[in-house]
Amino acid sequence: MLWVDGQILYNPTTKMAILNVASPAGYVTFDPVLHTFGTVIPANYAETFSLNSTTNVVMDSSESSAFNTIDAIDITNERACLLTDTNLTGDQDGASTDSATNITVISNEDGTATVLNLNGSAFNPPGVSTTPCTLDETNAPNSVLVSGLPSSTAGSAVNGTTHQAFLIEDGSPGATLIQLPISPVAGQIAAGSLGTPSISSIPNDPLDNSWGTQGDPYAVAIGECNNKGYAVDYTFDFLVQVDLATLQNNPANISTALPAGHCAGTTSTIFKCDNGSGTKFFPLPGVS
């Protein structure tokens, strides 16, 4: 019996879903047409993972990884390999990947995030089911450590159109937007290729409760068509929508308090759903 840990990603290229499982720890594919599972690929327990739909490689953010290392899951060849980078910390929590540029963002829940440039990286040794193995960066370490973020920054999502990463805190209201390179980086990635992080916080919800985003796995996503970031609070009362253009250009506006009133779909709120400055709340089932 498989004990699914909570995250499922779908690869539109291979038409396969990928699940991380806690028992036995690792990853397994699922064919949604045939309703069949693949073989479990042993790996560390992951808080979240990201998928490059082009290379079919999963990056596994896990507190179980040794300092300066991360698991890279070669789904095609059914093996977990080790990537070593000195800008990786020991408390990896969130992972997201821009498949167009092969840039992966790992949030470390210590006020930092690691931006890995995996363009040009390669598994060593190549071949089917060969272990132990490594995923080798070009010019390692090929990364940037972004610091000065909200202290509990954990989950993240990437907009593959604007090439921006939206990061949230675990159980706290912090929200950050980082501009990533807009095209693949040949060779070494430089700090100058990233924009200055835009940092703000999500205001109190329509019930006047302090916002804290759900964690493990992190309830954060991006709508690429409308360039909005989304997160769910840890009490599962509200879905929040953050306008990422506003977060980028006028980050202080995001934290503007909601005006007095009544949030649609509820009967007992004391504030409206929309602060009119880039943040909007949607009540989830169960909110009175």
Give the span between the Cα atoms of 10 and 19, in whole angstroms. Answer: 9
pLDDT value for 122: 95
Q: How far apart are CA 75 and CA 192, in angstroms?
A: 32
- pLDDT at 5 (0 to 100): 55
Instruction: State the pLDDT at residue 265.
Output: 84
Structural domains in the chain, CATH included, are 45-283 (2.120.10)
Q: Residues 214-222: what's their mean pLDDT? A: 85
**Which of the two residues, 286 and 103, has the higher pLDDT score?**
103
Confidence of residue 288 (pLDDT cuts 50, 70, 90): low
Give the pLDDT score at 128.
78
pLDDT-based confidence at 160, cuts 50/70/90? very high
pLDDT tens-digit series, residues 168-181: 999 999 999 999 99
For the cut 80, the answer to whether the pLDDT of residue 11 exceeds it is: yes
**What is d(CA 25, CA 286) in angstroms, rounded to the nearest whole number?**
33
Mean pLDDT of 97-105: 97
> Is-contact 140 84, C-beta < 8 A?
yes
Cβ(29)–Cβ(41) under 8 Å? Answer: no
Q: With cut-offs at 50, 70 and 90, classify the pLDDT of residue 127.
A: confident
Q: Is the pLDDT of residue 245 over 60?
A: yes
Q: Does residue 90 have a pLDDT over 80? A: no
Per-chain mean pLDDT for the chain: 92
- Average pLDDT of the segment spanning 215-242: 93
For 40-88, write each residue's pLDDT tens digit: 999 887 778 999 999 999 999 887 788 899 999 999 999 999 999 999 9
The two structure tokens encoding residue 194? 């990233």
More confident residue, 24 or 56: 56
Across residues 147-162, what is the average pLDDT? 95
Tell me the one-letter amino acid at 75: I
Q: What is the pLDDT of residue 63?
A: 77
* 216 pLDDT higher than 80: no
Name the nearest CA neighbour of 242 among 208, 285, 199, 271: 199
- Tell me, what's the pLDDT at 6? 65
The token pair that represents 254 in the structure block: 């995001």
